């Protein structure tokens, strides 16, 4: 059955131009603006709104030290599920077949309560908390039990040659529809953090859209229902911001269509994803 996705357009953001000094000077030069290809990077603590109605932006988020902490967390989680004693460098080189158990099962990629505590203690997470977005963590959804009392923070690994299946493009709220999550409990933003990327070779494809112009069908998997795009757009429909490890893409959860870009790099692409209400 094809489900027409309906959305209540909510204005989560307000513009306060007085705090965006660097952007005001940026916009004064129309010729320069027309030549800029990528999203301009800035510190997340200074962000008051998403700009240009783009629905997303790239920000500096994790320091090198905090990035190392997250990389160690992920290596420990992968070790627990697969092979004892893995380093993060070794995780980057694991094959698709070696990673298969955790690629299929999101539960194995969820941060534990202890790891979430470590994350919250980092200076980088505190910087996110002090920004416009805040850090009120959305609850996770379980394939059998629906919404559960645990934050939605998990990592994702995309091996070389994988990613980019256009029918997997989605809007995060589509999953909330499938699990009947109430509007006031749905996330406003997704924080997609690059833990290991090769800029221009892998990352995230995304585009702000009118959700009413897209349809999805629901498919059932061993790990719960998921939306599958009907008549999905090609990859050139999306924007593809270059992003380096430690940077994050923050985007609206209710109207940004997105999917992982094909991994054309030499190593596994790894991201950490946080949903914020």
pLDDT at residue 73, as a whole number: 96
pLDDT digits (tens, 9 = 90+) for 58-75: 999 999 999 999 999 999
Q: What is the SS3 assignment for 225?
A: strand
Cα distance between residue 66 and residue 248, in whole Å:
13
* Contact assessment for residue 259 and residue 168, using Cβ atoms and an 8 Å cutoff: yes
Mean pLDDT of the region 254-259: 96
Give the pairing of strands 269-276 and 153-158. antiparallel
Q: What is the SS3 assignment for 192?
A: strand
Going by pLDDT thresholds of 50, 70 and 90, the confidence category of residue 148 is: low
pLDDT digits (tens, 9 = 90+) for 197-223: 999 999 999 999 999 999 999 988 877
pLDDT at residue 142, as a whole number: 58
Going by pLDDT thresholds of 50, 70 and 90, the confidence category of residue 135 is: confident
The residue behind tokens 């094959």 is 95
The residue behind tokens 């702000």 is 208
* Contact assessment for residue 30 and residue 236, using Cβ atoms and an 8 Å cutoff: no
- Helix ranges (H only) for 92-137 are 96-104, 113-120, 123-129
The two three-digit tokens of residue 203, written as one number: 């990352």
Sketch out the chain's domains with CATH numbers.
54-276 (2.60.120.620)
């Amino acid at each position: 059955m094809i489900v027409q996705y309906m959305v209540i357009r909510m204005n989560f953001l307000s513009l306060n131009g007085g705090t965006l000094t660097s952007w005001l000077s940026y916009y004064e030069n129309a010729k320069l603006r027309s030549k800029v290809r990528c999203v301009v990077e800035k510190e997340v603590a200074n962000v008051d709104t998403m700009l240009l109605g783009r629905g997303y932006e790239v920000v500096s988020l994790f320091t090198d030290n905090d990035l190392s902490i997250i990389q160690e967390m992920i290596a420990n989680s992968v070790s627990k599920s697969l092979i004892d004693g893995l380093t993060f460098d070794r995780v980057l080189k694991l094959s698709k077949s070696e990673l298969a158990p955790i690629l299929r099962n999101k539960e194995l990629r969820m941060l534990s309560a202890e790891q979430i505590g470590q994350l919250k203690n980092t200076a980088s997470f505190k910087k996110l908390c002090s920004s416009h977005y805040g850090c009120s963590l959305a609850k996770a959804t379980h394939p059998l039990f629906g919404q559960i009392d645990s934050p939605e923070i998990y990592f994702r690994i995309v091996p070389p040659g994988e990613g980019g299946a256009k029918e997997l493009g989605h809007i995060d709220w589509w999953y909330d529809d499938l699990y009947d999550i109430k509007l006031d409990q749905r996330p406003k933003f997704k924080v997609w953090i690059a833990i290991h990327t090769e800029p221009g070779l892998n990352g995230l494809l995304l585009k702000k859209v009118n959700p009413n112009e897209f349809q999805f069908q629901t498919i059932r998997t061993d790990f719960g229902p998921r939306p599958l795009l009907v008549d999905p757009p090609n990859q050139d429909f999306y924007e593809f911001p270059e992003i380096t490890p430690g940077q994050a893409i923050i985007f609206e959860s209710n109207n940004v269509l997105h999917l992982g870009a094909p991994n054309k790099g030499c190593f596994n692409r790894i991201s950490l994803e946080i949903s914020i209400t």
